[in-house]
Amino acid sequence: MIESFKKMFLMSILSSIFFIIVGLFLIMKPDTTMAIISYAIGSLIMVSGTIFLIKYFTNRNGYTMLSGELILGVICVIVGISLFLNPKALASVIHFILGMWIIISSVTKIQYAFQLKAYNNKAWIPTMILAAITFIWGLLLLFDPFEGAMLITQIIGMFILVYAILDLVEVFIIRKNLRDIKDGIIEIIK
């Protein structure tokens, strides 16, 4: 169990570092960063679509009418090409995706805070406060109250940067109090 916690902490630290880098790039070079991200995602989606189309046209088992590979392939190729032709389109939806990610991560941290509180561990207070702040950041991103794609991109970069820094602080607080969290999980399993 401790090994899985160590892996979770490592993944959380690595994702926070990744988000810090992305946040800084979004703040400093929003148009270039969004174009690069859009081209990368567009490429992945086009490759996926091409694979679906190849699978559809090479299927020899007679069930091609019922498979969704042709539909998925065409949709993925069209979306991928769209992202290549209009990289700013991604800026209009990325705030929603990142907002959801931050909200889900924050709710997980809130659960840890409640677990710490159940064991009368005082670290639950900063964990809860930080999780609440990141939850609010996620909500702000989700509902996108700002206008203008480049401004949104820079604001997203700031949100990502703040989230990543707060997430790193939370990880270290939780890691320091891992024993109480582990004990709570063991009790739940029993």
Q: What confidence score (pLDDT) does residue 10 get?
A: 83
Q: What's the mean pLDDT when you consider all of the chain?
A: 81
- Segment 143-185, tens digit of pLDDT: 765 544 566 677 778 888 888 888 888 888 877 777 766 666 6
Q: What confidence score (pLDDT) does residue 50 get?
A: 94
- Segment 22-79, tens digit of pLDDT: 888 888 887 787 788 889 889 999 999 999 888 888 876 655 555 678 889 999 999 9
- Segment 93-132, tens digit of pLDDT: 777 777 788 899 899 999 989 999 998 988 899 999 999 9
Closest CA to 48 of 66, 67, 71: 71
Q: What confidence score (pLDDT) does residue 152 get?
A: 67
Q: Is the pLDDT of residue 19 over 80?
A: yes
Please indicate, yes or no, whether the overall pTM of this predicted structure exceeds 0.75.
no
Q: What confidence score (pLDDT) does residue 8 get?
A: 77
